[in-house]
Amino acid sequence: MKLVQGILKLKHFSYSVSRHYSNRNVLKLHERGMYKDIFPDTASAEIVDLLNAKPQCVYAGFDPTADSLHIGNLLVIINLLHWQRSGHRVIVLVGGATGYIGDPSERTTDRPALSAEYIKRNVSGITENVEQLFKNHDTFLWKGQGHGDDGDLVPVTIVNNYTWYEKLNVLSFMGNIGRNFRMGTMLSRQSVGSRIASETGMSFTEFTYQIFQAYDWLYLLENYDCRFQIGGSDQMGNIVSGHDLISRVSNRKVYGLTVPLVTTETGNKFGKSEGNAVWLNREKTSPFELYQFFIRSRDSEVENLLKLFTFYSTGKINEIMQQHKVKPEARLAQKKLAEQVTVLVHGDDAARIISAGGFYVNQQRCTNLSEVLTLGTHILLNNITLLRVGKRKYFVIKWKI
Ligand code: YSA
């Protein structure tokens, strides 16, 4: 895994703010390599002012093209969690409507049309992922780390954009919203240009995608006072479309931020379209496989990954790296990384069992934490199961059958 880092020019970075408010400044995450771009790119000082003035609202969207999020999406969620930790309000938008349209960003061909049933199932899967991530973070990585005393986190709000599109009339949408989009600008988006030039071209439906994502932001601005949008760097075109729409119809200023794309060693984006996703749903990628994925990260990238995928302070990360370098073969940094991500995604129990060395049923190692125990295989004929967690903890289970 490799991370494409962008150069971010945050001009007025050493801002002086009162101590009380300093932790609201999520632009500080720039120090961790968390942002690739900021839009408008001259707005960093303005943004810092806003963040310090009062808690702000931020959103990121996820389309239901699969029934689970994956580790590329996780980086966006972690960014949102940092905003939540800093006292801001966080909205996760699940694209029950945009899933019908299909985002052309980073795609070389049209997306297949998705059925209503499929979208509905995927909306539930993603919503469950998001709820679990925010819950695990709150329980194990916020309160569990003694931050509870700093105050309760403002709970995440999950919205589905289908709820506003189902009420919208196509004529008023095209007549009022569509009118604000210029063909030239729409055609100049990277996601559009490359596709139009391709052999198969691009459907009108996908061409309109940017209008929908732009309108969502306007809707969230008007209904939730949401002035910030976050996405992976492939979302920049859609984010700029929203910014343009809002500057035409409102006098409020809005800002977009992107996170770097998590890519494979060959530079391909990790994700569902690429078929190389590492999923957050335990049925698709087991907690053990997720843990192993991070254990395998290379020494050259592990420090960056600790900064992006864990909530350790940069001081703590330096400490871990110093210890790691004394004995790299012990893979301390990778273990810390894998453990923290597994806690966030699957909870403390899963991470503890895996990092203790896994669990064994009748001396056979199990990699699936939700293994179903069956008679004959796991339950011996004398109705006994021998369970071992890690190297030393044994349990004898006597079944009443
Ligand atoms: C956003 C806003 C709206 O108002 C409506 C819909 C959306 C969804 C958006 N257009 C989209 O299609 N997103 S996505 O479902 O493909 O991915 C969700 C988020 O994860 C995006 O911000 C995307 O950039 C990010 N992502 C996906 N793979 C990634 C990644 N981020 C980093 N590395 C990767 N490999």
Q: Which residue has the higher pLDDT, 289 or 382?
A: 289
Question: Alpha helices, DSSP H only, in 42-103?
Answer: 44-53, 71-85, 98-101
359-361/262-263 β-pairing? unpaired
Among 76, 208, 276, 308, which is best to mutate for testing ligand 1, by the most ligand atoms less than 8 A from CB? Answer: 76
List, chain by chain if needed, residues with CB within 6 Å of any ligand 1 atom. 60-63, 72-73, 75-76, 93, 95, 98, 103, 161, 213, 216, 231-232, 234-235, 238, 259, 261-262, 269-271
Tokens encoding 35: 């942002």
Q: Which residue has the higher pLDDT, 311 or 387?
A: 311
Q: Nearest C-alpha to atom 34 of ligand 1 is from which residue? A: 72
Host H or E run for residue 385: strand 384-389
Which residues are CB-contacts of 160 (< 8 A; sequence separation ≥ 6)?
93, 94, 95, 96, 97, 123, 127
Q: Is the pLDDT of residue 130 over 50?
A: yes
Which residues are CB-contacts of 102 (< 8 A; sequence separation ≥ 6)?
65, 110, 111, 113, 114, 205, 206, 209
Q: Nearest C-alpha to atom 1 of ligand 1 is from which residue? A: 61
* C-alpha 299 to ligand 1 mean position (Å): 28
Q: Write 269-276 long-range contacts (CB < 8 A, 24+).
A: 269/72, 269/106, 269/232, 269/234, 270/1, 270/70, 270/71, 270/72, 271/70, 271/72, 271/106, 272/65, 272/66, 272/70, 273/65, 273/106, 273/107
Q: Is the pLDDT of residue 161 over 60?
A: yes
Report the half-sphere exposure of 188 (CA within 13 A, side-chain side).
7
Query: pLDDT class for 365, splitting at 50, 70, 90?
Result: confident
pLDDT tens for each residue of 310-340: 999 999 999 999 999 999 999 999 999 999 9
* C-alpha 233 to ligand 1 mean position (Å): 9
What letter does residue 82 receive in the DSSP assignment? H
User: Helices 299-309 and 332-346: crossing angle, nearest 10°?
Assistant: 30
Mean pLDDT, residues 60-75: 97
Q: Is the pLDDT of residue 12 over 70?
A: no
Q: What pLDDT score does 10 carry?
A: 35
Query: pLDDT class for 15, splitting at 50, 70, 90?
Result: very low
Q: What pLDDT score does 197 carry?
A: 85
Mean pLDDT, residues 286-307: 95
Q: Work out which ligand 1 atom sits closest to the CA atom of 270.
A: 35
Q: Is the pLDDT of residue 107 over 90?
A: no
* C-alpha 73 to ligand 1 mean position (Å): 6
pLDDT tens for each residue of 162-177: 999 999 999 999 999 9
Q: Nearest C-alpha to atom 2 of ligand 1 is from which residue? A: 61
Q: Work out which ligand 1 atom sits closest to the CA atom of 217.
A: 4
Q: Nearest C-alpha to atom 31 of ligand 1 is from which residue? A: 232
Q: Which residue has the higher pLDDT, 362 or 390?
A: 362
Strand extents, DSSP E, 250-355: 255-259, 262-263
Mean pLDDT, residues 192-208: 90
* C-alpha 118 to ligand 1 mean position (Å): 19
Q: Is the pLDDT of residue 4 over 50?
A: no
Q: Is the pLDDT of residue 284 over 70?
A: yes
Query: pLDDT class for 182, splitting at 50, 70, 90?
Result: very high
Q: Is the pLDDT of residue 200 over 80?
A: yes
Q: Nearest C-alpha to atom 29 of ligand 1 is from which residue? A: 72
**Mean pLDDT for all residues in the chain:** 89
Tokens encoding 113: 């049309």
* C-alpha 235 to ligand 1 mean position (Å): 7
Q: Which residues of 371-396 are buried (b: 16+ CB within 10 A; e: fewer)?
A: eeeeeeebbeeeeebebbeeeeeeee
* C-alpha 343 to ligand 1 mean position (Å): 23
139-143, 232-236, 392-396: the lowest-pLDDT one: 392-396
Q: Work out which ligand 1 atom sits closest to the CA atom of 233.
A: 24
C-alpha 64 chain-centroid distance: 14
Among 59, 63, 162, 293, which is best to mutate for testing ligand 1, by the most ligand atoms less than 8 A from CB? Answer: 63
* C-alpha 76 to ligand 1 mean position (Å): 8
C-alpha 325 chain-centroid distance: 29
Q: What pLDDT score does 144 carry?
A: 83
Is the CB of residue 60 less than 8 Å from the CB of residue 233? no
Q: What pLDDT score does 287 carry?
A: 94
